[in-house]
Chains A and B, each alone.
Chain A
Amino acid sequence: QSALTQPRSVSGSPGQSVTISCTGTSSDVGGYNYVSWYQQHPGKAPKLMIYDVSKRPSGVPDRFSGSKSGNTASLTISGLQADDEADYYCCSYAGSYTWVFGGGTKLTVL
């Protein structure tokens, strides 16, 4: 299956909000409510930020929120902070026990 489509980069100033999109097909994003989002700082392992489209694991600030409409999922980060600067990846279940990731989005906090 093909990777999900994410913007290469987004940016925002401290305190602002940014939204990262993740576009797939009816065979993955649109077909299941199984989208997750990961934050990855340089040289570190990814960290789960959102699962099942909009649920937050314990310890993840409520500044991070997820949603989905049709074949596109979105991650919104409000009240941007310097430490939010990282790469973000979406992931979707694609059936038959397979998972597909997005290409990643680099978030720059200006």
Chain B
Amino acid sequence: QVQLVESGGGLVKPGGSLRLSCAASGFTFSDYYMTWIRQAPGKGLECVSYISSSSTYTSYAGSVKGRFTISRDNAKNSLYLQMNSLRAEDTAVYYCARRSEAGAGFDYWGQGILVTVSS
């Protein structure tokens, strides 16, 4: 079955860096577009970054552009999010999610990983 498992979260000081990973299994990872979506405590969802199946196309939310970098390693079935210059407002649960092959929707999500930016 499809599984997405995030790792790499934790507590980091403002200005610090963190790298999130998402291990995918149960499907042909290299066939799918992937995304990182975050949810601040008590708030709604925000699509942070999106990457095409072969890494040709990427996009970023304005709030993270220039600070976050999305990447993937199809040989390792893994998705990454390098987060630099972290701010308190980046505190959130970060989900990796798969874009459905059937259409425009994110059909599988990881369990989420908490990133806390605080001094």
A30 within 8 Å of B (CB atoms): no
Contacts of B62 on A, CB cut-off 8 Å?
Answer: 1
Contacts of A64 on B, CB cut-off 8 Å?
Answer: none
**How far apart are B111's CB and chain A's nearest CB, in angstroms?**
6
**How far apart are A105's CB and chain B's nearest CB, in angstroms?**
10
Contact A52 B104 (CB under 8 A): yes
Smallest CB-CB separation from B98: which chain A residue? A48
B80 within 8 Å of A (CB atoms): no
Smallest CB-CB separation from B104: which chain A residue? A34
Contacts of B111 on A, CB cut-off 8 Å?
Answer: 45
Contact B50 A99 (CB under 8 A): yes
Contacts of B37 on A, CB cut-off 8 Å?
Answer: 101
Contact B106 A101 (CB under 8 A): no
Residue from A35, A57, A89, A98 in contact with B107 in the complex, judged by beta carbons closer than 8 Å: A57
Q: Contact residue range for chain B?
A: 20 to 34
Q: Mark A30-52, 1 if CB is under 8 A from B, else 0.
A: 00111110100000011110111
B29 within 8 Å of A (CB atoms): no
Distance between Cα atoms of A45 and B112 in the complex (Å):
7
Contacts of B52 on A, CB cut-off 8 Å?
Answer: 97
Contacts of A96 on B, CB cut-off 8 Å?
Answer: 59
Contact A46 B109 (CB under 8 A): yes
Known: A89-B45, A99-B47, A101-B47. A52 touches B103 (CB 8 A): yes
Distance between Cα atoms of A98 and B49 in the complex (Å):
8
A55 within 8 Å of B (CB atoms): yes
**How far apart are B87's CB and chain A's nearest CB, in angstroms?**
19
Contact B103 A55 (CB under 8 A): yes
B26 within 8 Å of A (CB atoms): no
Contact B59 A101 (CB under 8 A): no
Distance between Cα atoms of A72 and B112 in the complex (Å):
29
B58 within 8 Å of A (CB atoms): yes
Contact B104 A36 (CB under 8 A): yes
